Amino acid sequence: MMMMMIPMMMMMMIVMMMMIPMMMMMMIVMMMMMVMMMMIMMMMMMVMMMMMVMMMMMVMMMMAVLIISIILNYIFL
């Protein structure tokens, strides 16, 4: 019985040793994935903000053009 036990223990030890780096790798990969996701989310947010700013600028420009045209019309009239 004992003779059977020792190789089993050895095998278990080897498997555990193999598993630990695998687990570490998995953890690192998970962390990387999380970071990538965060980066993508940040980029998306930045793009959305830029789009909003651009839209606001366009609206402001249009409003300014309208106001200027109205003022010019008043002046000419």
63 belongs to a structural domain: yes
6 belongs to a structural domain: no
Report in angstroms the alpha-carbon separations of 38 from 31, 33, 42, 51: 10, 9, 6, 20
Residues spanned by the domain of 31: 13-76
5 belongs to a structural domain: no
Domains: count for the chain: 1
What secondary structure does DSSP assign to 13-50, as a single string? HHHHHHHHHHHHHHHHHHHHHHHHHHHHHHHHHHHHHH
38 belongs to a structural domain: yes
Residue 4 CB-density burial (10 A; 0-12 exposed, 13-18 middle, 19+ buried): exposed
Tokens 């994935």, residue located: 33
1 belongs to a structural domain: no
- pLDDT by residue for the chain (77 residues), tens digit each? 567 777 878 888 888 888 888 888 888 888 999 999 989 888 899 999 999 999 999 999 999 999 888 888 888 87
> Residue 10 gets which letter from DSSP?
H
